[in-house]
A and B are shown apart, each in its own frame.
Chain A
Amino acid sequence: MFPFAINPEKAVEELARFNQKLAAGVKTFTEVGHIESGISPKEAVYREDKVTLYHYAPRVENPHRVPILVVYALVNRPYMTDLQEDRSMIRGLLDEGMDVYLIDWGYPDASDRYLNLDDYINGYIKRCVDFIRDRHDIYRVNVLGICQGGAFSLCFSALHPDRVRNLVTMVTPVDFHTPDNLLSQWVRNLDIDLLVDTMGNIPGDLLNVTFLSMNPYRLTGQKYLDMVDLLDDKVKLKNFLRMEKWIFDSPDQAGEAFRQFIKDFFQKNGLIKGSIRIGEQRVDLANITMPVLNVYATKDHLVPPDASKALKQYVGSTDYQEVAFNGGHIGVYVSGRSQKEIPPAIANWLKERG
């Protein structure tokens, strides 16, 4: 049987309808307004170089006594955690009574090319943590690390366990050599020294293309065809555009930090081997003795579940728990379902531990 039952009239109608939607979409586009970068009110409370520490306005009268510091990845902008009201992990945590801080790494330029992981972890993160400790007159804060920021948080917690009361990691790679870790495979044979020595800072767009290469046809073609179906709905379109803005809002990566991260974490798998050195100190995950909550996504194509779950066998904590979210790497903090599941799970876990 001929596998095309595309009636000519129907096909014309389909294409005409598609065209009409697109034409009508121009009007919607003009009405959609400014695309915000984060929706929850926040205040910059500490700045250093291009790094800004934000404090979100609490949404309950008496927030939890121990603030939580969100450490996001360097490769994208942290407003993904606060994308829109019904898709905001930050908002969810605030609603659960948490007192939330977040580090915004800013946009490194050529003058930041020699920033290394010591600067990020023992410098920026440590000083942000110390600022919060002083501000709240506490000596340990809760830390929530996301993706690469989770790896940084693990390093920080291992190096400064006296400053971290509870550690939460989300979609965080720990074992970088699981068979299904495509990113790790892609960089395994790259000459990173040559790349960084040649490029200096690594362009964010290069990383974008790398991520898009995983599903190039869907992410650069089909997605926009599907978008046309949203054009008659201003709210849905704006949500789409928020995500679109975030996807392509990729800071360049400070060259030395990138070199160290790719070589030591991706290529040498140093986090689980205990071979990573930050500054003068070796990172030993066994030093992580505080309670640990590890949130991973079961359909994560960037950080496969096994890459995250490996944490259990390496931390020194006797209080280790996992939360498996049925979704992907991005969905874990932007999907409507995650909004209902993840912030309450984190907040309850933290509250149980004081």
Chain B
Amino acid sequence: MDNNPFSSDWMAGWNTLQRKMWEDWSEVTQSSWTNAWQTESPMSFFRDGMNRWPNPFAAPTQTPEAMAMRHAMGSMEEFMRMGREVFKVFQGMSDSGNVTQEWTSQLDKAIQQAKAMFAQGSQAMFGNLGNMGGMGGMGGMGKMGNMEEMTAFMSRPMKAWTEFLGSNPAFSNDTMRSLLAGGQATEEALSRFLSMPGLGLNREKQEKVQEGMRLSMEYRKAFEEFQKLMNDSSKRALDLLHRKLLEMGAEGKSMQTMRDLYVLWVDCNEEANAATVTSKEFNEINSRMMNAMMRVRRNMAESMDDSLAAVNLPTRRELDSAHRQISTLRRRIGNLEDTIRELQGKDASAEINTLRDDMEKLGVRRLREELTALKLQVEEALTAPADGGAESADKLAIKKTVRIGNAKPQPAATAPAQKGE
């Protein structure tokens, strides 16, 4: 194999090796492991996670081992892909015959091309997303099935890298432009429909449908706003990468491994993401999108309820009502049980005990012990043989007091003290 990193020979050899790795893997996975990750997008866990919760029929079935292995496979795939794409770009530089002098302009060109994809407005990276999200989120959370591209972008910087380099025709700018054009036309048609007044028997139904469409349009706008924000973040990540590579070049530093490049790219994305998600703008835009999406979902749920009620099936409203009553009953039972318990006197001594505990903490026990010791000394002094064994009434009184104050033989007095600890 030629040792020139940008030669065709080297790339062919590298590709062959890579292909063999995947073939080996296919064999391994088919023979000894579930093929879940093999058939799906390897890093699709993020999408799966988001898909699961709005889907009432889905359930988490994967073990941590299977999930983690899938993720590792995904990482490997991206790692490999990164290598291929990076070398593809550098091969182009190499073919020009002057790597050392032209690399900065080639790099600048590649970065600018990648940024241009974001500047086109949107869905080059995010695709025709329904959304995804979280409260701090990376988007909305309505139509989860179409969020794969965005998820991939988030979770796979290397996929993003390859797409920046225009390697994926599925996300060409032409595709995006047509989608956007279609969206605008649809919006105009919807606006006309929404301006129609409702009439007759179906007036209410028509108004509900119109309301739902209006909410959907609002959500679409909010989501596009969010997309633009995240696109800007991605562009900042590219600028960072660009800057850091140039700095390395200027300082005479260089990356020694593919892993170094991967980590640098992740760092750039994280840095750009951190700046974005801590901004006031993000909070406002993300919240606007989430709120808009919730309005759409609520409208959908209400429509579904109406349909269910029409065929005499239980509705969400009815279930909510039942659940509310269950909670109220549970609460009442709990309170009644607490009341019964208190009436049974289990807590009757709580206040006294609390006071006793406070006294204990103030050192009363130590004082009591000292007092007991003093009394014992007095008693010993009084019972000393010097008086010839005759006891006065006063001495007897002191003895009695000492017995009461002596904690050792008095279980009635010691029990609360122990409880107080």
Contacts and interface: CB of A to CB of B under 8 A. Distances in A.
A14 B258 contact: yes
Interface string B347-387: 10111011001001100000000000000000000000000
B9 to A, nearest CB: 10
Interface in B30-61: 32-33, 43, 45-46, 49-50, 52-54, 60
B291 A2 contact: no
Interface in B247-261: 248-250, 252-259, 261
Given A209-B137, A217-B154, A220-B46, A139 B71 contact: no
Interface stretch (B116-124, B167-175, B266-274, B390-398): B266-274
B43 A221 contact: yes
Contacts of A235: none
A32 interface: yes
Interface in A33-84: 35, 48-49, 65-66
Interface in A179-198: 182-183, 185-191, 194-195, 197-198
B357 A140 contact: yes
Contact of B254 (A2, A12, A183, A221): A2
Interface in B212-261: 245, 248-250, 252-259, 261
A5 B100 CA distance: 12
Contacts of A113: 320, 323, 327
Interface in A15-32: 15-16, 18-19, 22-23, 25-26, 29-30, 32
A138 B136 CA distance: 44
Report the interface size class on chain A: 35 or more
A215 B271 CA distance: 9
B100 A182 contact: no
Interface stretch (A222-230, A310-318, A320-328): A222-230
A66 B421 contact: yes
B331 A119 contact: yes
B156 interface: yes
B76 A228 contact: yes
Contacts of B14: 8, 11-12
A185 B283 contact: yes
Contacts of B74: 221, 224
Main secondary structure on chain A at its contact with chain B? helix
A281 interface: no
Nearest to B156: A221
A127 interface: yes
Given A206-B141, A217-B269, A224 B10 contact: no
A195 B320 CA distance: 15
A185 to B, nearest CB: 5
Contacts of B330: 49, 119
B134 A210 contact: yes
A143 B297 CA distance: 41
Contacts of A245: 64
Contacts of B419: 137-139
B71 A8 contact: no
Interface residues of B, number: 118
B354 A5 contact: no
Nearest to B250: A1
B3 A9 contact: yes
Interface string B313-335: 00010011001101110110010
Contacts of A205: 49-50, 52-53
Interface string A111-130: 11111001100010011001
Contacts of A162: 350-351, 354
A16 to B, nearest CB: 7
B176 interface: no
Contact of A140 (B75, B78, B262, B354): B354
A208 interface: yes
Interface of A: 1-12, 14-16, 18-19, 22-23, 25-26, 29-30, 32, 35, 48-49, 65-66, 110-115, 118-119, 123, 126-127, 130, 134, 137-140, 162, 165, 182-183, 185-191, 194-195, 197-200, 203-218, 220-225, 227-228, 231, 240-242, 244-245, 248, 354
> Closest 10 CB pairs between A and B?
A203-B53, A210-B134, A220-B155, A114-B327, A209-B134, A189-B287, A186-B136, A224-B71, A5-B254, A3-B248
15 contacts: A6-B258, A8-B3, A16-B17, A26-B28, A114-B324, A123-B331, A138-B419, A185-B283, A200-B316, A208-B49, A215-B270, A216-B269, A221-B78, A225-B259, A242-B64
